[in-house]
Amino acid sequence: MKKTLVPRSAMAATLAAVLAAGCASVAVSNDAIEQNTATSLGLQKGTFTIQDRVDDGIKASYSVQTNAGKKYSCYVTGTVSVVGRVVSDPICTDASGKPPKQAGGASGATCNALLKAAGKCQ
């Protein structure tokens, strides 16, 4: 019987990737949260702060406070794989529990019954 030896560096790298794959604290950087939140809420980076981040498995929950005083509760999921870090778009609700108007929402000219029912009309 022939034994095959795996180099320690390859074994350590594989173990690190497996351990990090399910951890939002590793997969989801603060910069990724800030960039994805800015895009999702239609805000400029630097016009809001990320607070109270809690990592739980692949989910990172956090609060957003805009410079204008609006507050949102958000979460993203993230993993690390052989293709790199993957971070989801944020899911956010405002303080009243309503989903925020997304960037590029429907205007009055393109608003229809379906968009009204979904709360996407301005």
The residue extents of the domains of the chain are: 23-117
Tokens describing residue 92: 């956010």
**Tell me: the pLDDT tens digits for 32-75?**
999 999 999 999 999 999 999 999 988 999 999 999 889 999 99
Tell the CATH topology of 23-117: Nuclear Transport Factor 2; Chain: A, (3.10.450)
**Tell me: the pLDDT tens digits for 90-101?**
999 987 655 555
25-57 CB burial, b ≥16 within 10 A, e <16: ebbbeeebbbebbbebbebeeeebeeeebebee
Q: Which residue has the tokens 């019987």?
A: 1
Average pLDDT value for residue range 7-31: 63
Tokens describing residue 13: 């790298």
